[in-house]
Chains A and B, each alone.
Chain A
Amino acid sequence: SQELEQSPQSLIVQEGKNLTINCTSSKTLYGLYWYKQKYGEGLIFLMMLQKGGEEKSHEKITAKLDEKKQQSSLHITASQPSHAGIYLCGADNPGSARQLTFGSGTQLTVLP
């Protein structure tokens, strides 16, 4: 089955700083999903990427999928305390219908 590795595991930044979270797959990514989770709550869908080289943005968050479709990055510009939480990437699992494999998550803390 597909394995996703996220880095870093945790990240502490000062408000206003930019940051990047990476998600690397052991296999070709056919669909890559980014989610955000507040501690003790459910996951909120952020973006989905499918095509090599694809890039999507929502407010100050930009996600990219590399041309080889094995790595995705999530970039936050001018971070705010509201960006704090756990960011998880999830990938379509070609070996099984209708389920995602998730990375272990990146814990983001933004200091005011």
Chain B
Amino acid sequence: DGGITQSPKYLFRKEGQNVTLSCEQNLNHDAMYWYRQDPGQGLRLIYYSQIVNDFQKGDIAEGYSVSREKKESFPLTVTSAQKNPTAFYLCASSPPGLRRELFFGEGSRLTVL
């Protein structure tokens, strides 16, 4: 079945360490997104990519980095520069065309100790 796979589902990290969250999709979608979700704040866009080898900053890109070397993959690195990284991270993709329906992965919960 087609879908979006995020890993790991749970991740613990010490302060000062970088961590990379994986996002893989087999839906053949061009556009991919990373959102951060905090309690009571909905989803905030971190980065998005409309095509391979290209990506743009979202509303809260500081302290994060991404790459888009393959259409299927859009990994997110949470760097030590991110001041408050503990959150639930959601990856999504969308098909081409006017509809912007997003297909989401199951999420990754990052806790910084």
- A100, B45: Cα distance in complex, Å: 9
In terms of DSSP, what is the predominant structure of the interface of chain B?
Answer: strand
Q: Which of A14-22, A36-44, A61-69 contacts B (4 or more CB under 8 A)?
A: A36-44
Contacts of B43 in A (CB 8 A): 88, 90, 102
Q: Which of B12-20, B60-68, B100-108 contacts A (4 or more CB under 8 A)?
A: B100-108
Q: How many residue-residue contacts, CB under 8 A, span A and B?
A: 61
Given contacts A98-B31, A100-B100, contact A41 B40 (CB under 8 A): no
Chain B interface (Cβ < 8 Å from any Cβ of A): 4, 6, 31, 33, 35, 40-45, 48, 50, 58-59, 88, 90, 92, 94, 99-107, 109
Q: List 29 A-B contacts (CB under 8 A).
A: A1-B59, A4-B42, A6-B42, A35-B102, A40-B88, A41-B106, A42-B4, A42-B104, A42-B106, A42-B107, A43-B90, A43-B92, A45-B102, A48-B99, A90-B102, A92-B100, A98-B31, A98-B48, A98-B100, A99-B33, A99-B45, A99-B58, A100-B102, A102-B35, A102-B43, A104-B40, A104-B42, A105-B40, A105-B42
